[in-house]
Amino acid sequence: MLFVVDAVSPTAPPRGARGLHRFANPGRFLRLAGRVLPWVSAIGILLAASGIYWGLFIAPADWQQGDAVRIMYVHVPAAWLASAGYLSLALASAVSLVWRHPLADLAAVEIAPVGAGFTAICLITGSLWGKPMWGAYWVWDARLTSVLVLFFLYLGHIALTRAFDSPERGYRAGAILALVGVVNLPIIKFSVDWWNTLHQPASITLSGAPTMYVGMLWPLLLTALGASFIFAALVLARLSAAVMERRIRALLAARAEAA
Amino acid sequence: MKRKHRRLAILLAAGLGLGSAAALTLFAFRDNLVFFVTPSDLATRARAGETVRLGGLVAAGSVAHATIDGQPAVRFRVTDGRSSVNVSYIGVLPDLFREGQGVVTLGSLTPDGSFVASEVLAKHDETYMPKEVVEALKKSGHWQPGNGPPPPAASWNNLPVTKNGG
């Protein structure tokens, strides 16, 4: 119940507050989050909006896909963040299991719905692109299937963390699920290289020149950066609300006990 | 050993075990995880009459259109550079279908070695370029799209485009 003590007296730093545990103090987190959240949101919306505008109205159409290529400016950032979001979910889960960090529990719970939302956007936009380009909304190739599994992992995490009467047991079960699911991330990334898939391989790689015209590449990168800030802003806002909710619950419980 | 260190060690050991189990499983099922087989593998991977997906590039100059009972029909050759298979298909082709394009066809091998498809999907590759760049590459003789994949990206992804360039 260390957390409850923290929540009631947020200014008292825990003994030996070094490294990660400096941020275990929810009061400190709330102050920090309140200060950066407006900036993160504003930067995210600004970058994503200009990237989307550039992609939809200024960037050239593809010679084969025509204007359908513009779905990419939503699909690819959503796909990147679906995977990156899962990685952050797994990191929070590892911190929660190993260091028993109270903020990490809440972070994992709050990351999952945001990640699920981005994964849904990725799946829906991809399917809308697939019908006119491939000739099918959906095929069971390794890339599409592994991203669908990612979506189900997010949904499973959301359900599992809320399935127990004691929140601590829910956090524990969710963290284990999230860490087991990490095995899916390299499968998503390398599915298009390891096996024949209908989905195209990556255009932007560390090893070679991007196989995308620069006039299309820049708006994509801009949108992806903006979407990352929006992802962070959503998680920060949800996490702040969760910390405050927990604090209010602790105060109400203390009052009920005193009465 | 502190308790959190023990928990970290357990977590890493479990991760290692799970990772190797997953890797071995994927390796064992690698033949089932592919979405399509290539023309070179078709002979060993499928018997005549067995439904299978065949994938590769549409060979240059191999597409012949016809009409059978008022339905559009097409014959083309799918190649992977080493061997090729003749494919026949009755139905509407996806917009991206062209010579030199990747396709994935669902169908079966006939005893005479040709392939009868009931579905043709176009496979888009990882290159994205505006029309002007393609025209420039064609004009300079660096790429004829019908013949296969485009030249290395560094040679075209930065070409100046006059009209509508982003």
Domain segments of chain B: what residues? 3-32, 35-123, 125-156
Owning domain of residue A171: 25-258
Q: Evaluate whether residue A3 is within a structural domain.
A: no
In tens, the pLDDT along A87-127 reads 999 999 999 999 888 899 999 999 999 999 999 999 999 99
Q: Evaluate whether residue A185 is within a structural domain.
A: yes
Q: Which residue intervals of chain A are DSSP H helices? A: 2-8, 26-53, 72-99, 102-133, 142-161, 167-181, 184-194, 214-258
Decide if B63 contacts B38 (C-beta within 8 A).
Answer: no
Buried b (16+ CB within 10 A) or exposed e, A3-26: bbebbeebeeeeeeeeeeeeebbb
pTM of the model as a whole = 0.88
**DSSP 8-class letter at B163:** S
Name the 3-class secondary structure at B68: strand
* CA–CA separation, A86 and A246 (whole Å): 24
Pick B96's closest partner by Cβ from A133, A141, A208: A133
CB neighbours of residue A96 within 10 Å: 24
Does residue A209 sit at the B interface (CB-CB below 8 Å)?
Answer: yes
For residue A54, which residues of chain B lie inside 8 Å, CB to CB? 166
% pLDDT > 70, chain A: 91
Q: Evaluate whether residue A121 is within a structural domain.
A: yes
- Helical (H) or strand (E) element with B121: strand B115-123
Does residue A206 sit at the B interface (CB-CB below 8 Å)?
Answer: no
* CA–CA separation, A151 and B108 (whole Å): 33
Q: How many C-alpha atoms does A70 have within 13 Å on its Cβ side?
A: 14
**CA dist list (Å): B24 to B18, B28, B29, B90:** 10, 6, 9, 41
Name the minimum distance, in Å, from the CA of A257 to any CA of chain B. Answer: 33
Name the minimum distance, in Å, from the CA of B66 to any CA of chain A. Answer: 20
Q: Evaluate whether residue A6 is within a structural domain.
A: no
| CATH (domain of A210) | 1.20.120
Considering only A41-45, A80-84, B36-40, B150-154, which range has the smallest mean pLDDT? B150-154
Contact B153 A210 (CB under 8 A): yes
* CA–CA separation, A83 and A64 (whole Å): 28
* CA–CA separation, A42 and A156 (whole Å): 31
Contact B161 A209 (CB under 8 A): no
Does residue A98 sit at the B interface (CB-CB below 8 Å)?
Answer: yes
| Overall domain count for chain A | 1
Among residues A133, A191, A196, the alpha carbon closest in space to that of B78 is found at A196
Mean pLDDT score across all residues of chain B: 87
For residue A58, which residues of chain B lie inside 8 Å, CB to CB? 166
% pLDDT > 70, chain B: 96
CB neighbours of residue A165 within 10 Å: 6
Does residue A207 sit at the B interface (CB-CB below 8 Å)?
Answer: no
- Mean pLDDT to the nearest integer, B6-31: 90
Residue A84: pLDDT over 90: yes
Name A186's bridge partners.
none
Name the 3-class secondary structure at B112: coil
Does residue A205 sit at the B interface (CB-CB below 8 Å)?
Answer: no
Residue A13: pLDDT over 50: no
Q: Evaluate whether residue A5 is within a structural domain.
A: no
Domain B35-123 has CATH 2.40.50.140: yes
Contact B161 A60 (CB under 8 A): yes
Residue B166: pLDDT over 50: no
For residue B120, which residues of chain A lie inside 8 Å, CB to CB? 135
